Amino acid sequence: MDSSEMHNNVILIYQYTEKEIEGFNKSIDNLVSKLTAALGFSGVALKLIADLPNDGTHFWIRLLSGILLFLSIGSCVAGLWAQDSGAVIRAKALLRKEYPIYYSMTEEQYRLCIIRQWHEHIKSLEDLLDKRRRYLNISIGLLATVGFFYMLGIITSSIR
């Protein structure tokens, strides 16, 4: 492999890795939006449950729904909690005089150094994405269960 082929391959890997990071960041942003919506819906559901009658049967429905909504809100908050998404080499560090090795590197070596750091960063982004996805799924399951209890409360109210 000659140096021009290596140069082209390094550029290709660099661009691919850059796009991969952009994709992860977009997915994380989408999950944040969904978690925020689930958090808002939990508040609305809390109000709906509070409006159910306060008799014996509905007391248990309200209690169970309240507990599930509390867990749903907790799941959303845990998913939205700020978290470091991994370390990357800052441009400022590459320009420091304390790191003369960076000044003697070729463009390919620079790109490879950055690519290696990005791959570590991608692992952190994957972990963050998985964590937020898990919390969103928990919240959705809890909200669906609350919806079931709410409908049960409406049905029992209309039967009486």
CB 111 within 8 A of CB 14: yes
pLDDT score of 142: 97
pLDDT tens profile 37-91:
999 999 999 999 988 888 888 899 999 999 999 999 999 999 999 887 666 666 6
43, 44, 46, 30: which is closest to 79 by C-alpha? Answer: 30
Query: 139 or 158: which carries more pLDDT confidence?
Result: 139
Q: Which residue, 156, 135, 138, is CA-closest to 60?
A: 156
Q: What pLDDT is attached to residue 99?
A: 58
User: What digits encode the pLDDT tens for the residues 99-152?
Assistant: 566 667 788 888 888 888 888 889 999 999 999 999 999 999 999 999 999 999
User: What is the per-residue pLDDT for 32?
Assistant: 96
- pLDDT exceeds cutoff 70 at 25: yes
